[in-house]
Every structure is written in C-alpha cells, then in structure tokens.
Structure 1
Amino acid sequence: MLYSLLITFREGLEAALILGIVLSYLRRARPGASARPVWLGAGAAAGLSLGAAILLELLAVELPGRWQEAIEGFAMLLAVTVLTWMLAWMRRQSATIGRELRQRVDVALDAGSGFALGLLAFTAVGREGLETALFLFGGSGRADSAAAYWFGAFAGLAIAAAAGAAIYRGSAAIPIRAFFNVSAVALIILAAGMVPNALKELAEARLLFDLGPRLWDTYTLLPDNQGPGRLLAAILGYDASPFAGQVIAYIAYLAAAAAIYTAAGRPAPNLTPGPGAEHA
C-alpha cells in the first residue's frame, strides 16, 4: 500500500502541478480564454493511462504461469529503469519546466489553437499517467493484499488532486524542491526492492539459471511471506533467503541510482568560450 500510495501521490502531484502552471498562466495571459481544451486533453490522457493499467493487469492474468512470471520480471526491470530516468530528468528540468510550459502555452495562444492547448495537457498528463501504470504493474507482485494495494493507489491520486487544487487556488504552499528530493530518495529505495524481486521472477520463469548461492536464511526468525517480513518484502524487497546475485544487484542499483540522481542535480558546465578564447 505504501509503495502504490507514494507512486500515485508523487506522479499525480507532478501532473497536478503541470496543469496548475498551464491553467494559471492561461488565466493571466488570456483572461477570456477557455480552459476547456486543457481539461479535455488531461481527461483523455487519464483515460488512456487507466486503459493501459487495465490492459497490463489483464495481460498478466491471461498468460500461462511461466510467461506471467517473465512479464512481471521484465515489467519490474522496465519500471525501475523508467523510474530512475524520470527522477533524474525531473531533477534536471525542475528549474526550467515552468518557463518551457509557459512558452508552449504562448505558442498555442498565438496560433489560436485549442487543439494545441489540449495536446499540451494530454502529453504532460499522459506521460505521468503511463509511467504510473507501469510502476503500479511492476510493484503489484509485491503487494500483501491486492485490495490494500489499489486502495493505496487511489488514495494517493486523491491526495495529489486535493494538494494540487489547494496549491492552484493559493490556499496552500509546499516546498516543491524539498518534497521532490525526499520523495525521490524514497522512490529509489522502493525501486531497489524491485530489482531482486525481478531477478527472482525471471529465475522462476527459467530465463535466469544461476543467481549464485544463498547468502543467509532468516526464514525462521523473519519469514518474508507473513507479518512484518511480508511488509518489508513489499516495501524494501526483503527476502529471507536471498541469492548472491539478488543482493549484489540490489546494492549495485542503489549505488548507481544515487550517483545518477546526484549528477543530475549538478549545474551544467558553462561551455561559452571566454574573451579572447577564439584567438588562443
């Protein structure tokens, strides 16, 4: 539940903030302009994302056991890859995304195109929605309870919508940069838990044949299929008797993701030549 709630809250709030920037600028730049194309584009993107989530779940259910495990394993690895890229991209673009969105609104307004405004909202919300569908599918195999997992997902969306509406109306403010930094760290830890689970699914599908020896066995002390162990397995990827390959992959991902996220936050080097450089 925590994983699904955090995923939908963060992605939902990101989409809400993007919509807020577009609607606020539209209201200031053209007070009489209709916001209907923006809402239609956002609604279409939400419908597409929901359809993608349902399709992924149906596909997994209808496939035979071995192929279902393979799809889930590859979906986890894809979700981890996209999640890491998205976090790095958002960290790099956070300082300029508002200006870029306002420029795109200006272009649409100058062209008098409601379709362009709707397409702007559709692409912005659709990207977040499709990412969310993939992340939820990739993490659903770790859920202790399907009902709790999807309750957390819808609760996260509801909280994100309420927070976005409050921010748009000016009745609330959140430290955006601090929020995204803290939530990014939490998501990296959650994504790291997907990596050993993905390898386990691929091994059970007989697509991986050697993950090395088992490093320890704490099943009698803290089983990973019930109680607190089940919760740790769902959130952190805990395994009571992990293979060496799973542990190595977990540590390697954490190190790589931390390095990528840190590097994305560094300012780009100034490549403008200094005075007289052309004569050097």
Structure 2
Amino acid sequence: MSVGAFLITFREALEAAIIVAIIIAYLRRTGRAGQIKDVWIGTALSVGVSLLLGIGILRLYGGLGEKELFEGIASYLAVIVLTTMIYWMATKGRNIKEEIESKVSTAIASLALIGFTFIVVFREGLETVLFLTPFMTQNPSGTLLGLVAGLAGALILAYLIYGLGMRIDLRKFFYFSSILLVFVAAGLAGYGTHELIEWAEEEGYSLGVFASTAYDLGIPSDSVWHHKGAIGSVFAVLFGYSVSMEWGRVIVQFGYLLVALYLVLRAYGKGPAMDRKRRAAESAA
C-alpha cells in the first residue's frame, strides 16, 4: 500500500466529509432537513466526475510515449495544488464553517444547493486525482490500496466525530498532517525534477552540473533500504528519500522543503507548541 496515497486521500476525504457534515448540520438547524437529499446528490455527482477524470488522466498517460515528461509535469502540478491546499487550510480553514454556512444560506433552490455541494466536494476530488496521479504512474496497485484505505479511514473518523460526538482538535490534526504533507510534496518535487532531467537527457539537452550526481549511497536495488525496497519505499514516499540524487533534484527538493515548512509554520502561528507558550505567557501576565 502506498503510504503517500493513503495520507493524501485520508486528508482530502476527511475535508470533504467535514464540509458535507457542516452543510447537513446547518440544514437541520435551520429547518431545511428536506434538502439533505440534494447534498447527497451533489456529493455523488462530484465523486463520479472525479473518478471519470482520474480514469481519463490514466488513459492519457498510457497513450503517451514520453512518460518521463508526463510524470515530471504531473508531479510538479500536484506539488503546486498540494501546496496551495495546505496553505489555504492553514490561513483560511479556521473560518471554513462560517464560509460554508453563509453560502448554503443563499442556496435556497434545490439546483443551487446541488451545484454548491458539487463544487466544494469536487474541489477535494480534483485535488485527490492530481495528487495521486504521480503515485499511480509509479505503483498502481499500491496507490489503489492507499486510496481505498484513506477513504475508509476518513469516513470512519468523520462518523466518530459527527455521528458519535467524539471530540478531536481538528486544527491540531490539520497542522501535523500539513507538516507531513509538506515532506510528501517535497518528495514529489524531487521525483518530478528527476524525471524531467531524464527526459531532457534523452532529448539531448545538456544540463551540466544540474544533472550530475550529488550523492550515491551505493545501496543495491534488491536491498530493503533501496528507495524501491520494502522499507526504503516508505521513506521515499513520506520524505522523498532516494539512494542517489542529481544536484538539480537536491536543490529543488530541499529548497522547496525549507520554504514550504517556513510558510506553513508561520501560517499556523508556529504551531500548537508555540500556542501553548503564548497562552502560558498570557496567563502569567
């Protein structure tokens, strides 16, 4: 099972489940319970379109000759969208409940509610498709297992929270999951760079030191510590680990990691630990 696919799907599916739960709770609270069926229609349509989009992208990939170019571009695109999602959740996600309820309050007609639900849920589905495409091209079966496990885990957690009333600090959850996803995104940026370097070399482009080897650990391909081995592959997905890297990959991967971590930590106010220090300082004052 692809750990990266599981983590991304779990996060995205949980966000979608939270959005749907907020809409349904608002409809019940405002005496519009009869429109809940419209929410489920919009959700079903968004899931169906997301699946069709994913199948279409994979069919396109299968028909391409220059797979390194496709994988490189797909990885970069996933990193851009993933980074945007992480930063948006860090800066705007705290007001997501108010924003959704405000939009639902104006979506009185059934078609308007179906359309709004479709849009907000499809956004999560589109992000999931874009994120999983690079993983699917590398490990289709593992990615599919990660997708199913992520969906199941997110739905179970959403039911525990909104169905059984289990209390969980969602902001803290999204904070720590965002940190982990930054490492996943950095690995994707590095992998995409590696694929683009390979494509450029095959096309006869000279990249100089950018394509030269920065390091090589000398670990054989049949070792469990190889980035395609049983243990190494987990670190490869989560942290962008590889037994060898070009200088271009090192620069892009670790450059992205430093910048993205700084932005996420700053957006979250330097995280829960700093929040505790701030509250302690306020109490002492």
Matched residue type, 1:128 = E
1:142 shift after superposition: 4.5
Matched residue type, 1:214 = T
Which residue of structure 2 lines up, in the alignment, with residue 214 of structure 1? 213
1:235 shift after superposition: 3.1
CA contact (8 A) 1:142 1:233 kept: no
Q: Going by fraction, where is helix more abundant, 1 or 2?
A: 2
Which residue of structure 2 lines up, in the alignment, with residue 20 of structure 1? 21
Which residue of structure 2 lines up, in the alignment, with residue 226 of structure 1? 229
Structure 1 residues 6 and 225, CA, compared in 2 at 3 Å: closer, same or farther?
closer
In structure 1, which of residues 158, 162, 187 is the aligned counterpart of residue 156 of structure 2?
A: 162
TM-score by length of 1: 0.87
Paired with 1:194 and 1:31, the residues of 2 have a C-alpha distance of 44
Which residue of structure 2 lines up, in the alignment, with residue 133 of structure 1? 129
RMSD across aligned C-alpha pairs, in angstroms?
A: 1.9
1:16 shift after superposition: 0.3
1:20 shift after superposition: 0.4
CA contact (8 A) 1:142 1:234 kept: no
1:148 shift after superposition: 2.4
Structure 1 residues 31 and 37, CA, compared in 2 at 3 Å: closer, same or farther?
closer
Q: How does 1:249-260 map to 2 (within 5 A)?
A: 249-260=252-263
Q: How does 1:1-280 map to 2 (within 5 A)?
A: 1-64=2-65, 67-109=66-108, 113-143=109-139, 146-206=140-200, 209-210=206-207, 211-220=210-219, 222-265=225-268
Matched residue type, 2:141 = A
TM-score by length of 2: 0.85
Paired with 1:168 and 1:20, the residues of 2 have a C-alpha distance of 7
Paired with 2:162 and 2:118, the residues of 1 have a C-alpha distance of 19
CA contact (8 A) 1:203 1:209 kept: no
Which residue of structure 2 lines up, in the alignment, with residue 270 of structure 1? none
Matched residue type, 1:179 = F
How many residues are treated as equivalent by the alignment? 260
Paired with 1:242 and 1:18, the residues of 2 have a C-alpha distance of 40
1:258 shift after superposition: 1.5
Paired with 1:219 and 1:233, the residues of 2 have a C-alpha distance of 16
Using the aligned pairs only, state the percent identity: 34
CA contact (8 A) 2:94 2:171 kept: no
Which residue of structure 2 lines up, in the alignment, with residue 273 of structure 1? none
In structure 2, stretches of 5+ residues that fail to align are 270-285
Paired with 1:94 and 1:230, the residues of 2 have a C-alpha distance of 32
